[in-house]
Structure 1
Amino acid sequence: MFGRGQGADDDTVVAMLAAALRRDISFGVLPPDQKLKIEALRQTYGGSNHSMRETLRMLSAEGLVEATAQRGFRVTSATEGDLRDILLMRLQVEQLGLRMALEHGDVQWEGRVLAAHHALRRTEEALARGISDALALDWDMACRTFASVLVEAAQSPRLSHMQLKFYDQSRRFRLALLREGRLDFALRAKQQQVLVEAILTRNADAALAALKTYVSDDMGT
């Protein structure tokens, strides 16, 4: 009994550590290619050697951290080549997922799309008036939720998992655009509206074209 409880506690610690490191990698606190030493990370984020190592392995599976036998762990690179490759995978997965969602999605799914879009618009309207760390976090989560809802009706848990994996790998590029003031929120609003309207009318060709435009601009390409 104790063993099961201890295991659950360990899983909770790893999940919390992963969330903290994932956030700091995404926001550039832990920059690309930085070496990740377990003891130094423990001093900043807490946890045991075991939980931190498990956290780094989890982030390695997500593509945010790279593990090498001789050099330990480091934050993955964020080059132009990485950007193009992640964009390629996002488009492949998200367009397939949206096509399937349009085939299988019901009225409840449409409602979730509208709700996620509304939440995203609210955060982007607030960001257009001024940026804060808290608001940037809210916006980042709203973007992630909107992207995941678009494919959730595809009825493929593995596809949804891959969508979130590649989406999370793209977050650093999007947040860099935010920090550098390179996001056109008026243009994003128009792109999102076109996408949502195409979904609600079940116009697959228009929806897929709108998604391609939106995702490409979302990553600054």
Structure 2
Amino acid sequence: MAGTRPLSDSMDEINDTVGEQAFRRIRSDIISGTLKPGQKLKLERLKSQYGVSVSTLREILNRLTTEDLVLAEGQRGFEVAPASVDNLREVGDLRLVLENHALALSFAAGDLDWEAEVVAAHHKLSSIEKALLGGDADRTEQWIKYDFAFHHAMISACGSKSLLAIHQSIFDRFMRYHMLAQSFRGGGVAEDHGELFRLALARDVEGAQAKLASHIHLGIDHILSTGKL
């Protein structure tokens, strides 16, 4: 029949969708700390937990090794990447290099639509931070979502999909440590975001880069102060 797609093509699409969903769930569970640093990733257990085949799980876990979220142990299988002070500092440095470069490109190219995106992202983040400062500790995961959205909005006009994708991967690895620390930094982080917002709208590249460096380093100090690593 004209226009009918082969069943095999449809099944491949369904399988790809299921595999992508499982990939996102496993990746999210690693970043959130649900799957803990150093935890052995037993394929049979994960098969029932995430509803995909062992072969698909192997593909997913090998894919996550490229982001340093999973370690492949040869014949011994896979485990969640460990957390360490050195790795936290390394990831923080990588984030700073990538985000500073993207900020400069984005500030130069951003138009009125970009400004509107930054305004909207900061408004949402600021609302969550006010709730956290008011004692609503259950909003931490939501804060991480809007924290990324704000930082992403500031660099979204950089003109490089590859740069944005790499930045998101590094940002998520950095946020993993915040989730492991299970502690919101408080008023200081909200003030940082307010200043970054002002500097973004002013297109002040040097000021924003300096504030971002302080923001990231203070975040590292806060994570280490919790004693969770």
Aligned to 2:209: 208
Aligned to 1:137: 141
Contact 1:173–1:220 (CA under 8 A) maintained in structure 2: no
Task: Provide the rounded CA distance (Å) in 2 between the counterparts of 1:89 and 1:146.
Answer: 18
* Residue 195 (str. 1) matches residue 196 (str. 2): yes
Task: Provide the rounded CA distance (Å) in 2 between the counterparts of 1:4 and 1:124.
Answer: 46
Amino acid aligned to 2:59: E
Amino acid aligned to 2:201: L
Question: Following superposition of structure 1 onto structure 2, how do residues 125-164 of structure 1 map, counting pairs within 5 Å?
Answer: 125-128=130-133, 129-132=135-138, 135-164=139-168
SS of 1:202's partner is: coil
Q: 1:202, CA displacement in angstroms?
A: 1.0
Aligned to 2:226: none
Distance 1:109 1:169, change over 3 A: same
Structure 1 stretches of at least 4 aligned residues deviating more than 3 Å after TM superposition: 218-221
Aligned to 2:99: 94
Task: Provide the rounded CA distance (Å) in 1 between the counterparts of 2:35 and 2:153.
Answer: 28
Structure 1 gaps, min length 5: none
9, 29, 35: which one pairs with 2:40? 35
Task: Provide the rounded CA distance (Å) in 1 between the counterparts of 2:58 and 2:169.
Answer: 20
SS of 1:62's partner is: coil
1:173-215, CA deviations, whole angstroms, 9 ceiling, x for partnerless residues? 11233x2x3x332111111111111111111110111111222
1:122-175, CA deviations, whole angstroms, 9 ceiling, x for partnerless residues? 12222232222xx33322211221222221110011100110110111122112
Q: 1:23, CA displacement in angstroms?
A: 2.2
Q: What percentage of aligned pairs have identical amino acids? A: 30
Amino acid aligned to 2:149: T
Contact 1:170–1:219 (CA under 8 A) maintained in structure 2: no
SS of 1:74's partner is: strand
Task: Provide the rounded CA distance (Å) in 2 between the counterparts of 1:14 and 1:57.
Answer: 13
Distance 1:122 1:161, change over 3 A: same
Task: Provide the rounded CA distance (Å) in 1 between the counterparts of 2:22 and 2:130.
Answer: 31
Structure 2 gaps, min length 5: 1-5, 223-229
Instruction: Please identify the structure whose Cα radius of gyration is greater.
Output: 2
Q: 1:43, CA displacement in angstroms?
A: 2.3
Distance 1:218 1:111, change over 3 A: farther
Amino acid aligned to 1:131: A
Contact 1:35–1:74 (CA under 8 A) maintained in structure 2: yes
Aligned to 2:169: 165
Task: Provide the rounded CA distance (Å) in 2 between the counterparts of 1:96 and 1:218.
Answer: 20
Contact 1:13–1:51 (CA under 8 A) maintained in structure 2: no
TM-score of the pair, normalised by structure 2: 0.88
SS of 1:70's partner is: helix
Amino acid aligned to 1:139: W
Amino acid aligned to 2:195: V
TM-score of the pair, normalised by structure 1: 0.91
1:71-130, CA deviations, whole angstroms, 9 ceiling, x for partnerless residues? 221111110010011011101101001011111111111111111111111122222322
Task: Provide the rounded CA distance (Å) in 2 between the counterparts of 1:162 and 1:176.
Answer: 22
